[in-house]
Amino acid sequence: MPTGAPPSLQLDLFLRDTTAYQQALARYDRLRPILQGQSTLTQQSQATGIPYNQLWRDLQRFQRAGLVGLLDRRTLPHTRSTSSLDVRIPLHVQHQIVRLALAHPFTARELARIVQTCYELPLDHRGIRRVLDLHQLSPAVLRLHYQTTQQTALPPFSAGQQLDLALALTTPAQRLVQALGPDHLLLRFRTYREYPTEEQARWRIIELLEVGFRPRRVAKLLGIQVAVVYHWQRRFHALGLVGLTTQTRTDTPITMRVSVQAMMDVFQLLDNNPLLGHYRVKMALDSLGYRYGHTTVWQMVALYKQAHPRPPREPRSPNPAERPKATTAPHQAWFVDIRYLVQIAGQWLYSILIFDGYSRAIVGAGCFERQNFSRVLHVFRQALTQWGAPEAVVSDHGAVFVAFAPCLRQLDIQWAPTTKGHPWQNRAESGFAIQRRMLDAYVVGFTEREQVFQRHAQFVRDYQFWGHWAHKRQDTEGRVYYLSPEVMLGQMRGRVLDPMRLRQALRLRQVTRTVRQYGQIRLHNFGLYVDQGLWGHRVEVWMYDDVVRIEQGEHVVVSYPCVYDPRQRRITDVDARGRQQYCDIPIMQLVLFTLALVRTVWRMPRYRRIAAPRRVLLAPQISLWQRFAD
C-alpha cells in the first residue's frame, strides 16, 4: 500500500467495497493454518498450489497491518494520481465536444485546438479521445452516424428570417455556443448555399474562424473553396462588417480610362491593317510608350470593329471535288498512305496500309523499318497479286507515291492524288484513326520489333472482321448493326493482270548492258553469265528486291536470286545456285554447268575512276613593253 495513504481511507474503502472484503477474507483463510501452527509455509504452498513467495508476502502484510493489509493495492487510489475526467473537463465543455464530433468528422487534434481557443483548457488529443470514449462514441459509431446524417435534408429557413449577428463583446466560449446554436447546427453544418443571404454565410465563415476552426476545415464544412475563406477573412480584417457586404461594381467607360490620342493611334493602325488582332495592337502601343492591359486593348479593338463592321460572308456551298473519291463497287479506288507507328531503340517503324474505298477493307498492309520506294512496291505487289488491279489509286503527294505513279501507268491504273492541304480526301486517314485506337495502346510499350510486327498483323486481321461505321444497317425490328469490311468485300476481285507485266512494272531498277565475248555482263560488283551466243547483243536487266532478270527482245534469258539494297541502289549479293535458264543452250555447255566447271557468278572489283589531272591555269601576263615604247 502506498505509504502516503492514511489508514482511515484504507478502512473506509475496506468497509465500502464488498469485493475487496471478500478477497481479503480469502487470503486470510489461506494463512489461518500457518497462524495456528498447523502447517508451515512450505506445506501450505504445496497443499494449496499458491507460490511460496506470495504466501510469505501476505503473512508479512497481515502481521504489519492486520486484515486491511490483505487488500489489493492496485485497486487503491494513489495520492499523486490525476483527478477524474469530470473534475478536469467541465460537463458543458464535454457536451460541446460531443456536439462537434457528431456534427462533422473532426480530428481529435482539431477538437483539442477549438477547446483550447474557446475555454483555455490544457487539453490535448488524448483527452478528446477519453471524452468520446466516456460517452461511448467510438470511431465506428461516429462513422455510421456520419453516413446516415450526411444525406439528411435540413429544414429551410422560414421566409424572411434573418439571423442575428453577434455584435456585442462576447467571449470565445460564448461565440462557440452561438456557432453551434440551433439556427446553424441541427444534425450537420449548413453549407454556404443553404443560408438565406450571402452576408449571413460570410459571417458564418468569420464566426467559425474566430472560435478556432482552420480555414480548410471551414471550407469543407460549408462546401466552398479554401480561397473563398481566405478572401472573406482578408476583407473582414480590412473593412470589418462592411467588407462582408456585396458591393456592386460600377464600370468605368473606356473613354475615361484611355486617352483620346491613344484611341486615335489604335484606329489609325487598324485602318491601315484591319486584320490585326488585339495582341499585335498591344505590341504596337507598347512600342509607342503606352501601357495598357490586354483587356483594355481588346475593348478598343472591339470598339473599332463595332464602328467598322465587316461585310457578311457569303455562305460557302460544299464543293463535291473536295470530297473523297466516290465509289459504288469494290476495287474502284484504293486509298494508300504511310504513318509513323512507334519508335523502338531510336528507330521509327512505319505502317503502310491500302484501303478499298467501297468496302473500307485493308487490301494491302505492311510494317517496315523504312518508308522508301521498295517497301511501297512490296505492299502493292502483294495487293495486286491477291486482289487484282483497281481502277484508280488515291494518295498524297509524298515522294514515294510520286515515284510510284509511272509504275501504275504501266499497269493502266490511274493515279489520283489528293489536293494539297486537303488530307480528308484520302480515306486512309480515317483508317489510320481507327488504327490509333486499336493498335497504338499495345505497341507503345514494346521493346522488340518482332512484337510490333506481330501486333500489326493481328490488327489487320481484327480490322477486317469488326463492324465499320460506314456500313450501318437496320434490321426489321429497328435494331442497328454494322457490317464488317470483310463481308462487304467478299470475294470480289479487280482486273486481272499478266504476271509478267506486273513484275516488269513493279521493278526497283532497270539498266541496259552489252554481253561480252564470253557471254557475261558486269552488274555493279558482280559478273553474271548470260549466254555466249549473245556476244555483242544488248540485254535488259530488271532488278527487284529478291531477283534479277535478264531479258533480250522481251524474252527472259536467265534470272538469279539476289539481295537489293534500296539505300545504295545496288545489288549486294547474288546466289549462283538459284540460277534459272529460260533459253536453249548447247549440250556441252550444259554439261560444264552440271559439273560446276564454269562459273556463272563472280565478284569483280569496284569501278576505279581515274581522276583527270587538273589543268593549271596560268595567269595571263600583261605586257607593258608597248606602253613604255609609246
pLDDT at residue 3, as a whole number: 41
Query: ∠538-541-543 over CA atoms, to 5°?
Result: 175
Residue 569, sorted as left (phi over 0), alpha (psi -120 to 50) or beta, turns out to be: left
Beta-bridge partners for 551: 540, 556
Q: Which CATH superfamily is domain 333-474 in?
A: Ribonuclease H-like superfamily/Ribonuclease H (3.30.420.10)
pLDDT at residue 590, as a whole number: 46
Please, are residues 449 and 349 in contact by the beta-carbon 8 Å criterion? yes
Split at pLDDT 50, 70, 90, the class of 4 is: very low
Please, are residues 384 and 497 in contact by the beta-carbon 8 Å criterion? yes
**What are the pLDDT digits (tens) for 8-60?**
444 554 455 567 777 888 888 888 888 888 888 888 888 888 888 888 888 88
**What are the pLDDT digits (tens) for 126-171?**
888 888 888 888 888 877 877 776 665 655 655 555 555 555 556 7
Q: Quick check: 283 pLDDT over 70?
A: yes
pLDDT at residue 396, as a whole number: 92
CB 184: neighbour CB atoms within 10 A? 17
Q: Taking the C-alpha atoms of 488, 490, 495 and 497 in order, what is their torsion angle to the nearest 10 degrees?
A: 130
**363 or 79, which is more confident:** 363
**533 or 618, which is more confident:** 533
Give the mean model confidence (pLDDT) for residues 455-483: 89
Split at pLDDT 50, 70, 90, the class of 370 is: confident
Give the mean model confidence (pLDDT) for residues 245-250: 79
Split at pLDDT 50, 70, 90, the class of 364 is: very high
User: The C-alpha cell of 452 is what?
Assistant: 510490333
First CA to last CA distance, the chain: 148
Residue 536, sorted as left (phi over 0), alpha (psi -120 to 50) or beta, turns out to be: left
> Which of these, 456, 277, 262, lies nearest to 352 by C-alpha position?
456
- Lowest mean per-residue pLDDT among 168-182, 225-239, 307-321: 168-182
**621 or 554, which is more confident:** 554
**322 or 353, which is more confident:** 353
> Which of these, 534, 519, 535, lies nearest to 592 by C-alpha position?
519
Which 3 state secondary structure label does DSSP give 11?
helix
Q: Quick check: 354 pLDDT over 90?
A: yes
pLDDT at residue 93, as a whole number: 83
Average pLDDT, the chain: 81
**C-alpha to C-alpha distance for 364 and 387, rounded to whole angstroms:** 9
Split at pLDDT 50, 70, 90, the class of 5 is: very low
- Lowest mean per-residue pLDDT among 282-291, 293-302, 306-315: 306-315
Tell me, what DSSP letter sits at residue 432? Answer: H
pLDDT at residue 178, as a whole number: 65
Please, are residues 333 and 325 in contact by the beta-carbon 8 Å criterion? yes
Give Cβ neighbours of residue 573 (< 8 Å, ≥ 6 apart).
562, 563
> Which of these, 507, 528, 510, 508, lies nearest to 519 by C-alpha position?
528
Phi, psi of 176 (to 5 degrees): -65, -40
Where do the domains of the chain lie? 7-75, 85-153+164-244, 254-307, 333-474, 507-603
